[in-house]
Structure 1
Amino acid sequence: MQSGYTYIPLDPLPISEQSPDGGCDKKNMRQAGVLEALPDNAARVSVAEINQSGEFSFVAGALAEKGGVYRVTIDYISSATAQVPLWIRKTMKVVDEKGHSYREQVDLRADVDDRYVVGSQMYDVVRDCADNSDCAGGNGYRRVDIPIYIGIGLRVISQVTAFKGKVNIAGLGAIGAGVEADALAGTLVVQTLGVNGKAVAAAIPIHSELNRTTVQASIVAVSSIKSMLYNSDVSVQPRVVGMYLPMPADSKLVNAIVSAFSDSEHKLGGFERPCIAEGGTHSGPVLVPSTNLMFFPGAVNDGGSMGAPDAP
């Protein structure tokens, strides 16, 4: 099942924070708060269709077909964007005229012909090519820069089965309407992304069944927790919450990339809150050389593009 060229939500991955070189010891300078360093607010909806083998593909449309199983992920996030370089090699199985099989390298972006065995694709994904002898020698690896979203927020996940065709599953309201019309059934989960605190934990609804009541409760919970983000008793810690795939992809490639991101020997790291002037502005990228991540925090003013200047 093919997808790609789309936003892919990820289970939250930790990212280390670094202080600006030399600290913020200049006169009238301070380090930006976490939320000030996350300039972008978005509500992102991704829809993955799941087949009987458990493989998934992210689909562009938001209409469920009768009998289809879908995982709908709705992210409400404050984020910054970074690029992570990966080296990827794709191989597929070929069977010759004598029945002998072997694996052959395939271009990541090219359409494959009928010489290749359907479903035989495998991916090798490397974070540090120089540290991998196979990759450093070439051997079919191609560099791909993967945009990742680093931030905090909330996520609602609903896995649904459609009993009717052309059912809108583009958001919580649409899913609730589908349930009310007996066109959908499934589960519903609300989780935080890098947000914690007693009030936050208390606001998360404890349920898994999908019905009109739980959909309404999830909407209330999301609104309630969003309003708490600047409270002093709420802690926020940026996470890698999603990525954008700039190429055709399938579930095997997505899983291989996530595995590379989770590599304990090459952890993602380097989120930096820049120094900003009291009452001034900050704009432009913040480069963290040790991790090859380029961040674009945007413009931040005294009030902060995300809110109060002393936000945590």
Structure 2
Amino acid sequence: MSTVLETPEVAPTSGRRRPLILVNDLTKTFGNGVRAVSDVNLTLYAGETLGIVGESGCGKSTTAKMMLRLLEPDSGEVLFDGADIHRLRGRELKALRRRLQVVPQNPQTSLNPRLTIAESIAFNMSAHGFSRAERARRIPDLLDRVGLDPSYGERHPHQMSGGQLQRAAIARALATDPEVVICDEAVSALDKSVQAQVLNLLADLQRELGIAYVFISHDLAVVEHISDRVAVMYLGRVVEEGAAEEIWNDPRHPYTATLLSSTPGPDRSRIVLDGELPNPAAPPSGCGFRTRCPLAADVCAQEWPTLTVRTPLHHASCVHQDPVPLMRPA
């Protein structure tokens, strides 16, 4: 029996909800001169899923690490419920860690091979002040909630499949009752059928618990299915953002159209780009996508366009105002 990827219910419009995370003008340059993230602005509302998509090296994981305070930005800020997380210390920082959790790409490396699954979950809970009795009571319930028999808590990571391990990693993230979970390529290492199961699980948990997700992936089709809104990144910048349905049906940036053309769809022709991803340490002048863009014009070499409003919830950083055609022959 094949596994069907369910389309999650559409969340309420952002105007009615509380901004939980605000990313303002975030920039990060590494010691080798690579500007991994440039002036990124994002908003995550309570209870929604924000998808971040782009090629490897586009800056999406670096952005996530700064949102988790695993990296310090050169400039800009990340506000969690109004507080700048990079200024928090001591108890305030510990409280943030409890409210903000992560599901990493590869649970085989993120779960300690010497600990059982229950011990890994208990370790996270212990770090945030849960008593031994609370841990013993909650861990079986957490495993059951993610679709694992509680007996799996006694297994070590090598005794479980990739899908089971990712479910265990989700249980570990849920153990502190977080408000936000950042999923960094959380299904990219799984088979397609298992991907669908995990995505459906995440959607179910969101409906039950009201969690907000930041869902990072290079696969726009996966992001579109699970996300309320999508931000598309290229060469360290957000080049398009909007409601998932608008991004999918009406892309306004050539790079977004290129990503879409590589996903299955009726009457959709593949757009083949010339050239390679530019060197982030020496990016081209103007729009960083212009050296690969089939619509590039002289004006594109002057400066990187700012995000321009196309519809109230849809913005793109491209000088071309018309919708991008997807039906371009390869």
- State which structure, 1 or 2, has the greater radius of gyration over its C-alpha atoms: 1
Q: Pick the structure with more helix per residue.
A: 2
Same-fold call, TM cutoff 0.5: no
Higher relative contact order (CA 8 A, sep 6+): 1
TM range (shorter): under 0.3
